[in-house]
């Protein structure tokens, strides 16, 4: 753990003294994340840091039901008490779901996230639990980079008023219940003419989300630094309806053309019902997820390690002729 005196000198260098502040967001359903959060809070407090702790569940907006619609929670309304732009960084303890949730909680404040995997895949995490002490020390020394990941602002309009909204790091998915039922969508991208797509559902994905649900639905893998979005139909009813990549500066308007309601989910852990008269509006957010990187980001390495992309084939055709 870095000594508080080191930070004191840094603050005095700029002519003022302030108590450094750190945040901890953890998955309270995982015992290991709970215990590490308690331990970290104690250690930082002993070093005279101002510590704010919150559960990642605060970034999960939940799901609506026909009897209990989700109330409108502004995007900026999910920031936990005490979390603000003065915070040096936040340590996120959990899996990818916790990272997605935490990004909605801290992105409006621009707080960098040191993400620590206590889950399974950990595609979005930077370090493992056994690397945490060294990782914190490296961050304290300022030996890290910040990687900006673009986010989407997803809004549901009902009678020209915002009924529901959320920040999105991975993807927005719109489909019917059950998922195997086909539905129609009128989709307008930017100022282009609207198109009609018949499919089981629609995915609008960021580059970060291109390796998530979008990939499973046949969408392209997009490197994080590319300023595009992907529109991916789920099981389309036409050979002409394929994934489309377009500039992220183009907003998207989706009108469901169905007699029954649809279901919308954002990042897999927040959503609401969409009625036939509703409109889903998606645009690139002014906020971004800021990830602390302890080494230079190497996207292809992560693809290899997590998804097995580009690994050599175990069995190759033999060059020896067999009689």
The residues near 265 (Cβ < 8 Å, ≥ 6 apart) are 63, 172, 173, 271
Residue 19 tokens, joined = 């108590």
- Distance (Å, rounded) from C-alpha 289 to C-alpha 285? 10
Task: Please tell me the predicted confidence (pLDDT) of residue 12.
Answer: 46
At residue 56, φ and ψ (nearest 5 deg) are -65, -15
Task: Please tell me the predicted confidence (pLDDT) of residue 71.
Answer: 64
Residue 269 annotated in ligand binding? yes
313 is a domain residue: no
Q: What are the DSSP calls for 17-86, one per residue? A: ----EEEEEE-TT-HHHHHHHHHHHHHHHHTT-EEEEEEGGGG--B--BTTBPPP---GGGGPPTT--TT
Residue with tokens 């893998």: 221
276 is a domain residue: yes
Quick one: 75 and 224 in the same domain?
no
pLDDT digits (tens, 9 = 90+) for 284-306: 999 999 999 998 878 888 888 88
pLDDT digits (tens, 9 = 90+) for 59-69: 877 665 656 55
Quick one: 126 and 179 in the same domain?
no
Quick one: 39 and 143 in the same domain?
yes
Quick one: 282 and 297 in the same domain?
no
Quick one: 168 and 132 in the same domain?
no
Task: Please tell me the predicted confidence (pLDDT) of residue 83.
Answer: 97
Percent of the residues in the chain that have a pLDDT greater than 70, as a whole number? 87
Residue 319 annotated in ligand binding? no
Task: Please tell me the predicted confidence (pLDDT) of residue 173.
Answer: 96
Does the pTM exceed 0.95?
no
Residue 115 annotated in ligand binding? no
Contact 69, 272 (CB under 8 A): yes
Helix (H) or strand (E) holding 13: helix 4-13
Residue 210 annotated in ligand binding? no
Residue 3 annotated in ligand binding? no
- Distance (Å, rounded) from C-alpha 126 to C-alpha 294? 7
- Of residues 28, 84, 96, 248, which has the active-site annotation? 96
Quick one: 157 and 122 in the same domain?
no
Domain of 35 in residue numbering reads as 2-8+18-149+288-307
For this structure, is 248 an active site residue?
no
CATH number of the domain within which 293 lies: 3.40.50.10330
CA nearest neighbour of 150 among 168, 132, 172, 123: 168
CA nearest neighbour of 158 among 77, 72, 260: 72
Which parts of the chain register pLDDT below 50? 1-4, 8-9, 12-16
Half-sphere exposure of 146 (CA within 13 A, CB side): 13
Instruction: Report the number of distinct structural domains present in the chain.
Output: 2
Residue 18 annotated in ligand binding? no
């Amino acid at each position: 753990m870095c000594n508080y005196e080191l930070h004191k000198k840094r603050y005095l260098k700029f002519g003022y003294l302030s108590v450094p502040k750190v945040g901890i967001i953890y998955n309270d359903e995982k015992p290991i994340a709970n215990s590490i959060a308690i331990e970290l809070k104690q250690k930082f407090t002993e070093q005279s840091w101002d510590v704010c702790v919150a559960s990642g569940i605060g970034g999960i907006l939940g799901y609506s039901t026909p009897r209990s619609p989700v109330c409108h929670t502004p995007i900026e309304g999910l920031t936990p008490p005490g979390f603000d732009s003065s915070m040096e960084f936040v340590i996120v303890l959990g899996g990818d779901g916790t990272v997605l949730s935490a990004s909605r909680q801290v992105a409006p404040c621009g707080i960098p996230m040191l993400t620590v995997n206590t889950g399974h895949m950990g595609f979005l995490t930077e370090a493992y639990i056994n690397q945490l002490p060294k990782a914190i020390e490296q961050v304290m020394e300022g030996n890290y980079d910040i990687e900006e990941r673009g986010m989407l602002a997803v809004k549901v309009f009902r009678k020209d008023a915002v009924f529901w909204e959320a920040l999105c790091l991975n993807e927005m998915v719109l489909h019917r219940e059950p998922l195997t039922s086909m539905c129609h969508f009128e989709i307008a991208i930017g100022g282009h003419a609207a198109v009609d797509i018949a499919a089981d559902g629609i995915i609008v994905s960021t580059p970060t989300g291109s390796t998530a649900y979008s990939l499973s639905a046949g969408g392209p893998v997009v490197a994080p630094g590319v300023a595009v979005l992907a529109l991916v139909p789920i099981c389309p009813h036409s050979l002409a309806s394929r994934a489309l990549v377009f500039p992220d500066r183009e907003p998207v308007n989706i009108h469901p053309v169905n007699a029954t309601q649809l279901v919308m989910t954002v990042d897999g852990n927040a959503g609401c019902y969409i009625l036939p008269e509703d409109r889903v509006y998606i645009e690139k957010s002014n906020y971004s997820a800021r990830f602390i990187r302890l080494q230079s980001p190497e996207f292809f390495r992560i693809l290899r390690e997590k998804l097995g992309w580009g690994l050599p084939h175990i069995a190759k055709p033999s060059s020896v002729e067999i009689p």
